[in-house]
């Protein structure tokens, strides 16, 4: 398919712009291109390791490339990367395996998925469970359970903690640790989720934009002693310890890079 004059050529699953009726310069990834994508993920993991990061998360949710491959709504390929569940999830398995060849076993590897497309005929929670069962033996330690983000006509039923059932089900059915996200704003919500084993980790974003000091405030209200940045100690509860800066050389000596 020829690119529109003056437009940048983009590559994806198939030569279709999924959000518009007309394709505009989109080309299907060749198998060589897919291999290049896998190698790029592995190279990024190596750079992260060299830079001293100790946790890595693969983003395969919200309509990004890996999600486009595993969802039947977007994957219209007819080769070994399309059609069946095994084929559609092949790229995810290849990327996890390639990353684990660069990322040490002692360091955790997370993956974020969209547990459902919120659209009939799309990716769903049952398929997510099966995907996690495949990825765990390849080296995934925790699944960050989000949802949606692929198609404009998704029908999300949102509310406080609306994605917690995804992390709970995946955790229960696979034995793999999970994180939950989405409209979790209070310490009471967090405590309930963790106490009832509905997730192993709660990840928050927008609430931190509204209240950057949420962890410090929640810890103070719960009477839990937590370290504070040294610059903020004058505002901290009595006897709060100062947060110690990361000592990269000590981590290197311990083999943590």
Which CATH number is 197's domain given? 3.20.20.70
Structural domain contains residue 243: no
Interhelix angle 187-195/214-222, rounded to 10 degrees, is 70
What is the domain extent for residue 169?
A: 30-210
Q: Model confidence over 170-220: pLDDT tens digits?
A: 999 999 999 999 999 999 999 999 999 999 999 999 999 999 999 999 998
Number of domains in the chain: 1
Q: Active-site residue numbers?
A: 64
Give CA–CA dist 227/195, Å, rounded: 23
Pairing assessment for the beta strands 56-60 and 26-28 based on DSSP bridges: unpaired
Structural domain contains residue 118: yes
Structural domain contains residue 236: no
Average pLDDT over residues 129-139: 98
The residues with which 145 forms a beta bridge, in sequence order, are 113, 180
Structural domain contains residue 241: no
Structural domain contains residue 166: yes
The distance between the two most distant Cα atoms of the chain, rounded to a whole number of Å, is 67
Residue among 132, 131, 158, 160 nearest 147 (CA): 158
Average pLDDT over residues 66-93: 97
Cα dist. 50→248, 253, 255 in Å? 11, 14, 12
Cα dist. 168→31, 119, 197, 227 in Å? 36, 21, 7, 30
3-state secondary structure of 120: coil
Give CA–CA dist 249/188, Å, rounded: 38
Q: Which residues of 191-225 are buried (b: 16+ CB within 10 A; e: fewer)?
A: eebeeeebbbbbbbeeeeeeeeebebebbbeeeee
Structural domain contains residue 170: yes
* pLDDT above 90 as % of the chain: 76
Structural domain contains residue 151: yes
Residue among 124, 140, 121, 122 nearest 132 (CA): 140
Residue 8 has pLDDT above 60, yes or no: no
Residue 25 has pLDDT above 60, yes or no: no
* pLDDT above 70 as % of the chain: 86
Structural domain contains residue 53: yes
Looking at residue 238, what is its pLDDT?
87
């Amino acid at each position: 398919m020829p690119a529109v004059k003056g437009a940048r050529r983009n590559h994806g699953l198939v030569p279709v712009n999924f959000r518009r009726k007309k394709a505009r310069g989109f080309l299907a990834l060749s198998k060589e291109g897919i291999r290049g994508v896998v190698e790029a993920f592995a190279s990024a993991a190596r750079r992260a390791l060299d830079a001293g990061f100790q946790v890595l998360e693969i983003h395969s949710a919200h309509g990004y490339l890996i999600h486009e491959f595993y969802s039947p709504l977007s994957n219209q390929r007819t080769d070994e990367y399309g059609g069946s569940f095994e084929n559609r999830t092949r790229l995810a398995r290849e990327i996890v395996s390639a990353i684990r060849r660069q990322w040490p076993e002692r360091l955790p590897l997370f993956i974020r998925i969209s547990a459902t497309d919120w659209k009939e005929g799309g990716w769903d929670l049952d398929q997510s469970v099966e995907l996690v069962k495949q990825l765990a033996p390849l080296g995934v330690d925790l699944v960050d359970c989000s949802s949606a983000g692929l198609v404009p006509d998704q029908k999300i039923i949102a509310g406080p903690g609306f994605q917690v059932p995804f992390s709970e089900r995946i955790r229960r059915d696979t034995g793999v640790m999970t994180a939950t996200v989405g409209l979790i704003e209070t310490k009471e919500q967090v405590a309930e989720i963790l106490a009832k084993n509905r997730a192993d980790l709660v990840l928050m974003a927008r609430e931190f934009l509204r209240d950057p000091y949420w962890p410090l405030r929640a810890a103070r209200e719960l009477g839990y002693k937590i370290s504070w940045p040294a610059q903020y100690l004058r505002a901290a509860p009595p006897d709060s310890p100062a947060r110690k800066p990361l000592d990269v050389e000590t981590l290197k000596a311990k083999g943590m890079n």
